[in-house]
Structure 1
Amino acid sequence: MKVYLPAWHYRARAIVQRTWGWSPIEEMILLALDRAPGTIENVATSLAIPTQVVGSTIARLMQFGLVEVRFSPAPQLATSTIGQNFIRLGGALPERTEDREIHISLVLEKVGHSVFRNRDVETAPLYRMTDANHKVNFPAGPDETDDTMAARVNQFVAGMLRPGEWLRGVQTINSVLERKYLAIELNDVKNGLLPEGASQDLIQALQETISTGMLPEASDPQPSRSPAIDTTIADEQLIVGGDLHLECFERIVGQAEFDVFVLSTFVAPHNEKYTERHERVRIALEQACLRGVRCHLFYGTTLDAERKNAIAMQELNVRLSSVRHARGSILAQRDSVRSHVKCLAADDGQGGAVVLLGSSNWLSSPFSAVEVSVELNENLAAAAGLDLLRSIISPLSGARRSIEILQFTASELRRTRSPLSPSTDVGGRVPVRMSILQADDHERLLRTVAHEADERFVCCTNKVGATMVPGLFNPAEVAGRRLDDVRVYYSRRSGPIKRRHIAAHRERLNGVVDLIAVEDPQVHAKFLLWDKDHVVVSTMNWGSQSGSMDNPLDEIGVHLEGPGLGTSLLAKFEGQIEG
């Protein structure tokens, strides 16, 4: 008897890169030409190397611009300026690379989450299934996307790579992902005949079907949590204040050479509230377009029944598209990504990337409120930020080009990650343990910190609302019964909450928690800090929202643990609200 399991068939083209370094012979020849320019014969004689080997080696060195031909005073080979710089600065020679394209055709079944080669299994399209077939229904979770298939592709490709190769990424523009049914013959299962790649969960589920006659159930795996990352950060990467956010936007967009990504909850239209600061953001994007930079623009709100943000995004798209040389380089999405996360990301013009995560609505903010963001520019941390952005935008069918670029860029950053110094302070940077909080992680962490903080507990939220007591005030009260410095900052009230409600809680918590209203300047920042070394820069209003497991990327927090980070952020924040 055959059973039919729900599955996804994924077809795409992946780019695999082969890299290799330089041999001692190549380095010897480069150094010889640096000391004494000459001919192939001169080099062969001085190093006692066969002429044919010298000739082929010099040809490879010339391909990378390390050796050049000079015609004066006589024709001769010599180290180029590029080659001299590598020698004088002591840097590694540029790696040689070669790309090849491979075709991927894999099947992911949803019972044991096995990954098979399509050619090794039998599949059936949905339209051929009838009620007579022994089929398992698809799980109720969201559809698979290019992003959710990324880990499966890595698993699938691992056995196909040659020595020295690594997977750069998948060309998602041409990928195809469709629902199918995987046909499994139960007699083959009895005889131990299953295609390569079958998981133990699948085998066990099929064996139970054989023994009980009951079909297995399909499921979606739990979303993976990002592992902690060891990185480095400088004090100035904690961005505090509206003015500084605008300056950072202009700096980051201004230095980009290839791609700029902007995710803002809202997009400001041209109306009576449009300010000179809104215009500075548009001018920075226009100047990037003039340089040939691709601009990827997204918004996240779902509270847009009249499509005002979509219309404003189209207005911005038309404006940027009219810039000379900008045709085809504006990738502005008019559908919401359905996330409250705010993000600015770009290449840094020097082979790296920078990612800003925090409270600033880049495409709608007048930059007059107090904002807090963290800038990630160490390669491994920036790659994690790019992966996060890719996961948020992946449900948009029109964002495939953006998803592909984010994937390839993050892969390059991980492969060329910045060296981490063991010192506690080198060039103003300190070692940091970084982890990403998803929406439903926030409340768990808040309660944990309330019991474990040793010196201080400070939380800042733009709004307090219906969830303020169980979500924020109760954990703060727990901390306040143990600690002398427990503060909650806020600026606005939402929902049914009135001033009298806050006043009642302020009186109740007097001497335990300081409830501090900051109305001028408005505080739009969302963060949590405790003791001297812990900071969480978030997008979630701790006092008015609750994180949902059903939409884990609706809110994001960046937890940084490093020497003096909590003290530094608090000092900067106090300077903003007191100045």
Structure 2
Amino acid sequence: MKLHIAAWHYRARAIIQRVWGWSPVEEMVLLRLHTAPGTIESVARSLSLPDQIVEASVARLMQFGLIEMQLSPTPFLTTSAVGKELVHTDRPLPERTVEREVSISLVYERAGHSIFRRKDVKLETNPSGSSVRVVGFPSDDPPETDDTMAGRVQALVAGQLRPGEWMRGVRSINSVIQRTYVVFDLDEVRDGLFPEGTSDELKLFLGEAIKTGQPAQLLSVPRQVAPAGFRTQFNPDSFVVGSDEHLDRFEKIADDARRELFVLSTFVASADDEKCDEKCRENRERIVKALERAVQRRVHVHLFYGTTLDENSKNANAMEALRVRLNGRNLTRGYVQVHRNPVASHAKFLAADDGRDGAVVLLGSCNWLSSPFGAVEVSAEVREDMAVANLLDILRKIVGPLSEARRSVEALNFISADLRRGKQSLAAATQPLRETPAVMTVLLADEHERVLRAAAHDAEHRFVCCTNRVGATMVPGVFNPAHAAGQRIGDVRVYYSRRSGPIKPRHVARQRERLIGMASIFGVREPQLHAKFLAWGDDDVIVTSMNWASQSGLAENPLDEIGLRIQGEGLATTLLKKFEALLPADARGHPRA
């Protein structure tokens, strides 16, 4: 009898990178030219080395910009600015790399989660016959993607790597993922014949099938989307607050990028937006020009929008118009990745490489491609390698379902992999930041309410929530937690600017009256508060895309809203100080006596 087990067949090309460091001779040459600039012959004599070896070492050092030639007053070799930084900061020399591609054809079976090489197993797409038993896919089994397959490719390739090699990622643009079935001959299984890679769980599964004559049904396995809390460093000045700071930060990040730039905005504004005044048009033009400058430098620009409520394809058409403008005269064809289909997420991301082997992510409330930049926005700028890698993984999961986004998914995967290998910016070595140890946690849509309620019960002396809108969920979502916090502590505040759905002024007034002596509710019309954050105590902050008082996160769509909880000394105090400086005097609030 033959047993057919549900499986996925994945074909792609993996990028294997070989990394090697520098020899003592090359380091000696660099140090010698730093202390005594000269020629190849003078270095060879002083180090008692053959000229050919010194010449080869100098060529490699020049290739990485560590030494340079100066022509005046006479030609001589010396260390460059980057080389001087390495010598004075005692940092290692930059790694040298070379890449190769290998074809991957793996099979991932669902019963025991084994990973096979395709050539080691027999597959059938439509099994049939009287002697065939089929173990099918669970009805609610989510489909596999390039993202979920990445770890399985890593496991398959791990045993095939040469010394000094690591798997950088998968070239997913031409990858193929197919549902299929792995065929097992139960007579061979009884004799202990298993293909290489068979897991212990699959052996037990097959053994039970032989014993009972009836294989078990498979259950859907839940997947972890967000990483658990992780330790990192966070610069207290990296809270970006206000429209002016967001505009300036966008331009800086776009101008620093040298390889990749990603923007996820819920909406995309059209050039003929009737609601946009002169100042609004000027601000939006600054965003587009920053994107144009990036494209002209041959930076790959990836643009996404989130909303699925796109009446008359307004956002899709605006995105197409943006694509046409950025492509200009087609001199930069291939560098603009503009996506007309939505990613079905309210999250807002700005991410890019920083031009110095690092990367940066801004996550928060700002709709980069539609904002008039007149409201108060709040975002968190993250630059520490491991934290950025985790956030890029989340962005990759958001955009991954778009079939046309494979180039973007591949780029996100490669940047994240590079960061996890611990590459650091050479320039940053001489620019110490005022950073504080912190713990970061990525919050999915359905996790926001639980954390807010817990904060209301745990907060010490302060509980401040800012939401753009109050809506049908405002009482259980924000006002009840504020009431709970107000029974214990003296500074409880809720800020909002807009009402949505059935909410009228009288509904908010009723809650304000109910919370007298417990909490203060501030309706700030100007400037509009588009920020979404929660700050409690002195050290705890959540910066998010979620409107706490008008939305509810659903477990069925965990990536609809993304928040970032940051715990570190004085972070809540720092954020509130910047936020309150933009408020009218009567909305700044004070702890109750």
Q: Same fold (TM over 0.5)?
A: yes
- How far, CA to CA, are the matches of 2:514 and 2:480 in structure 1? 12
- Distance change in 2, residues 1:495/1:414 (3 Å): same
- How far, CA to CA, are the matches of 2:408 and 2:261 in structure 1? 10
Structure 2 contact 40–55 (Cα < 8 Å) conserved: no
Q: Out of 546, 553, 557, which is 1:547 matched to?
A: 553
Amino acid paired to 1:223:
R
Residue 89 of structure 1: how far off its partner (Å) = 5.9
SS in 2 for 1:134: strand
- Distance change in 2, residues 1:321/1:71 (3 Å): closer
- Distance change in 2, residues 1:525/1:77 (3 Å): closer
Aligned residue in 1 for 2:227: 226
Q: Out of 441, 448, 451, which is 2:454 matched to?
A: 448
- How far, CA to CA, are the matches of 1:417 and 1:60 in structure 2? 20
Q: Residues 388-427 of structure 1, C-alpha deviation per residue, up to 9 Å, x if partnerless?
A: 11111011111111111111112122223459xxxxx963
TM-score, normalization: structure 2? 0.88
- How far, CA to CA, are the matches of 2:70 and 2:541 in structure 1? 58
Higher deviation after alignment, 215-224 or 150-159: 215-224
Residue 261 of structure 1: how far off its partner (Å) = 0.9
Residue 369 of structure 1: how far off its partner (Å) = 1.5
Aligned residue in 1 for 2:135: 136
Aligned residue in 2 for 1:261: 262
- Distance change in 2, residues 1:568/1:323 (3 Å): farther
Residue 444 of structure 1: how far off its partner (Å) = 1.8
Q: Out of 273, 281, 299, which is 2:275 matched to?
A: 273
Structure 1 contact 290–324 (Cα < 8 Å) conserved: no
Aligned residue in 2 for 1:349: 355
Amino acid paired to 2:378:
V
- Structure 1, unaligned runs of 5 or more: 420-424
Amino acid paired to 1:519:
R
- How far, CA to CA, are the matches of 1:87 and 1:475 in structure 2? 55
Structure 1 contact 110–219 (Cα < 8 Å) conserved: no
Higher deviation after alignment, 254-263 or 49-58: 49-58
Q: Residues 144-178 of structure 1, C-alpha deviation per residue, up to 9 Å, x if partnerless?
A: 11112122222222222222222211111121111
Structure 2 contact 471–503 (Cα < 8 Å) conserved: yes
Q: How many residues of Structure 1 are paired with residues of Structure 2 in the alignment?
A: 571
- Structure 2, unaligned runs of 5 or more: 426-430, 586-593
Does structure 1 residue 432 correspond to structure 2 residue 434?
Answer: no
Structure 2 contact 7–180 (Cα < 8 Å) conserved: yes
Residue 345 of structure 1: how far off its partner (Å) = 1.1
Aligned 1:168-207 pairs, distance under 5 A: 168-207=168-207
Residue 116 of structure 1: how far off its partner (Å) = 1.8
Residue 308 of structure 1: how far off its partner (Å) = 1.4
Structure 1 contact 262–296 (Cα < 8 Å) conserved: yes
Aligned residue in 2 for 1:146: 146
Aligned residue in 1 for 2:18: 18
Aligned residue in 1 for 2:469: 463
- How far, CA to CA, are the matches of 2:548 and 2:336 in structure 1? 35
Aligned 1:241-252 pairs, distance under 5 A: 241-252=242-253
Aligned 1:91-170 pairs, distance under 5 A: 91-126=91-126, 129=128, 133-139=132-138, 140-170=140-170
Higher deviation after alignment, 504-513 or 79-88: 79-88
- How far, CA to CA, are the matches of 1:72 and 1:232 in structure 2? 44
SS in 1 for 2:301: strand
Does structure 1 residue 391 correspond to structure 2 residue 390?
Answer: no
- How far, CA to CA, are the matches of 1:304 and 1:259 in structure 2? 27
Does structure 1 residue 291 correspond to structure 2 residue 305?
Answer: no
- Distance change in 2, residues 1:129/1:490 (3 Å): farther
Residue 539 of structure 1: how far off its partner (Å) = 0.9
Structure 1 contact 341–555 (Cα < 8 Å) conserved: yes
SS in 1 for 2:133: coil
- Distance change in 2, residues 1:143/1:131 (3 Å): farther
- How far, CA to CA, are the matches of 2:545 and 2:129 in structure 1? 47
- Distance change in 2, residues 1:186/1:471 (3 Å): farther
Q: Residues 250-307 of structure 1, C-alpha deviation per residue, up to 9 Å, x if partnerless?
A: 2211222222111000111122123322222222222222222221110010112422
- Distance change in 2, residues 1:453/1:257 (3 Å): same
Structure 1 contact 464–493 (Cα < 8 Å) conserved: yes
- How far, CA to CA, are the matches of 1:204 and 1:304 in structure 2? 50
Q: CA RMSD in A?
A: 2.8
- How far, CA to CA, are the matches of 2:355 and 2:542 in structure 1? 28
Residue 238 of structure 1: how far off its partner (Å) = 0.4
- How far, CA to CA, are the matches of 1:137 and 1:61 in structure 2? 58
- How far, CA to CA, are the matches of 1:160 and 1:488 in structure 2? 57
Structure 2 contact 37–76 (Cα < 8 Å) conserved: no
SS in 1 for 2:558: coil
SS in 1 for 2:168: strand
- How far, CA to CA, are the matches of 1:471 and 1:428 in structure 2? 35
Residue 341 of structure 1: how far off its partner (Å) = 0.6
Structure 1 contact 289–323 (Cα < 8 Å) conserved: no
Aligned residue in 1 for 2:236: 235
Aligned residue in 2 for 1:422: none
- How far, CA to CA, are the matches of 2:288 and 2:128 in structure 1? 52
Aligned residue in 2 for 1:503: 509
- Distance change in 2, residues 1:130/1:303 (3 Å): farther
Structure 1 contact 394–403 (Cα < 8 Å) conserved: yes
SS in 2 for 1:331: strand
- Distance change in 2, residues 1:545/1:202 (3 Å): farther
Higher deviation after alignment, 22-31 or 229-238: 22-31
Residue 71 of structure 1: how far off its partner (Å) = 10
